[in-house]
Structure formats: structure tokens, C-alpha cells
Amino acid sequence: MAFFAATGGVARTWASRARAAACIVVDLSPAFRADADVPLVLPEVNPEALAGFARRGIVAVPGPSSAQLALVLAPLHRAAGVERASVVTLESVSGAGQKGVEELEAEMRAMLAFQEPPPPTALPHRIAFNVVPQVGPFADDGSSEGERALVAEVRRLVGSSLRLAATSLRVPIFYGHSQVVNVRTRRKLSAAEAREILRTAPSVKVLDAPREGVYPMPMLAVNDDAVLVGRLRDDTSQENGLELFVTGDNLRRGGATTAVEIARLLFERHLSLP
């Protein structure tokens, strides 16, 4: 078995070589996430899909924003049927890799020393002391790649009947992606009920005592394998509406941890060590 954690191009080149060497690939890149012949697997949400690895010998790991949202939406969907959700993501610069991290650091150092920051190369604009409403290239319909991928992947993981709107923002934070999520369910689900459902959901931690200053923040999510959810409240502007805030470690929960859990599941259910 090989874990691929490079670019999509590298994954496409090496996947067939791995196949030829009877090596199963767990790929963290976006290369195969939309490929119908490759299962997209989040072990807590759709472990049964893993059986499809045999078709091409590849398992795709969902992107960090998709994994984070699916972990929270799936239990709510099972309980009350999520009809529609709308999400605004606040994505850290490490989502653009090490180059994104270095770019924010260089810009911050320069600006705090009252110097002109270097021109951006990894991100489309200066990210220090800024918010950039672009994650990846835009399509003709005005959506960014990050937004399209999030919608497609969450529907693949949670259910194709789910209607989802997304806006992806890049924010000047090094690690940890956050999401403002609005949900409409088929059956009425109060904020209190939703909180109880999420308390028992796998890889989800509820942090929701706002008056005591207890709520999810990237600062708390970093180095945690669970996704943090809080600020749960009824959205009274619509029937069966809920409002919530989610944060997660984009490197762990959003990638590395999921890849390792997929490997564990593969060996438990489908493979045996020689």
C-alpha cells in the first residue's frame, strides 16, 4: 500500500505504476475524488464505499473542507434528512500547501516591519491582513474550484439528494479551516436535539457554551483529529433551519488522519498482511 500526498498530476502518473506493482493507493490529492470508478471514502460516513477500491486499486481521500462538513452533516442527515445546506468556508493558508504557509509568514514579517510585502506567488492576492474570496480557479458560472469540489464531494459522501451552496474564502490563518453552516432539514430538528446527535457522532466534538466563551476556533482544532462544532442555534428565518460553526485541522482530520483510518479499514475488512 502507498499513501500519495503530492499533487494530482503526480498521483495520476504514479497510480497506474502502483497498480502494475499490485500496490493499493490511498490518494490525498484531488486527482480521483470525482472519478466514479474510485471510491471517495470518509470512514465515519461511508465505510461501505471502500469495497469499490478493487476496481482501480485506488481510494480517494476527501478534501479537508468536504471531510469537515460531511462529518457534521451526515449524522444530522441520518436523523432528520438535510434538505439543503449553505456553507461559507474560511480556509487557512496551509490548505495551499507549504508555499501558502511561507507566503503568509513572509508577508506578515514584511508588513509588521513597515516594509512592502513580496508579491504573492502561491495565492492570487496578498493574504496578510486580508480575506481572499478565491480558492482555486473560477469556472464560467463564477464558482471557484474549491466551491465546486466541496459541493460535489459532500454530495458523494452524504447523499446525492442534498442541495448545497458554497462560498470559499482564504483567510490569514496558518492552520485550521472553519465553516459557517446553515442547514434546512426535512423534519424539524431543534438546536438542542442537533447538539445531542452531534455529541455522539464519531470524530465530532461539541463545544457549545457561548456565554462562557466556549465555541470552536481553529486555535483549538489544530492537532485534534476531531472536528469541533458549536454556536448551534435555531435559524428562525426559515422552517426547520439550523445555524452552526465548525472548525477542523485541515492537515489531520482533513487529510492525514482520514488516510490512515482508510488504511486501517482496508486491512480490517478487505486485505490481510502477508
Residue 1 Cβ vs ligand NAP, minimum distance, rounded to whole Å:
16
- Residue closest to 46 by CA, chosen among 145, 155, 150, 148: 155
Angle at 158 between CA 152 and CA 164, to 5 degrees: 50
Judged by CB under 6 A, which stretch of 97-105, 166-174, 215-223, 227-235 contacts ligand NAP? 97-105
Q: Helices (H), strands (E): how many in the chain?
A: 8, 9
Q: Given candidates 24, 25, 26, 29, which one binds ligand NAP under the rule CB under 6 A?
A: 29
Q: Is 251 in the site for ligand NAP (CB under 6 A)?
A: yes
Q: Given candidates 107, 250, 253, 262, which one binds ligand NAP under the rule CB under 6 A?
A: 250
Site size toward ligand NAP, by CB under 6 A = 19
Which neighbouring-strand residues pair with 21?
A: none
| Dihedral angle computed from the Cα positions of residues 145, 78, 244 and 93, in that order, rounded to the nearest 10 degrees | -30
For ligand NAP, the closer CB: 107 or 153 = 153
Q: Is 218 in the site for ligand NAP (CB under 6 A)?
A: no
Q: Is 254 in the site for ligand NAP (CB under 6 A)?
A: yes
Residue 81 Cβ vs ligand NAP, minimum distance, rounded to whole Å:
29
* Strands across the sheet containing 241-248: 163-170, 82-91, 177-185, 241-248, 227-235, 204-206
- Residue closest to 255 by CA, chosen among 6, 1, 18: 6
User: Quick one: which H or E segment has residue 249?
Assistant: none
Q: Is 135 in the site for ligand NAP (CB under 6 A)?
A: no
Q: How far apart are CA 189 and CA 120, in angstroms?
A: 45
Residue 211 Cβ vs ligand NAP, minimum distance, rounded to whole Å:
32
C-alpha cell at 38: 474510485
Q: Given candidates 89, 94, 168, 203, which one binds ligand NAP under the rule CB under 6 A?
A: 94
Residue 56 Cβ vs ligand NAP, minimum distance, rounded to whole Å:
18
Q: Is 10 in the site for ligand NAP (CB under 6 A)?
A: yes
Q: Is 98 in the site for ligand NAP (CB under 6 A)?
A: yes
Which neighbouring-strand residues pair with 247?
A: 178, 228
User: Which residues are near ligand NAP by CB under 6 A?
Assistant: 5-8, 10, 28-30, 63-64, 94-95, 97-99, 250-251, 254-255
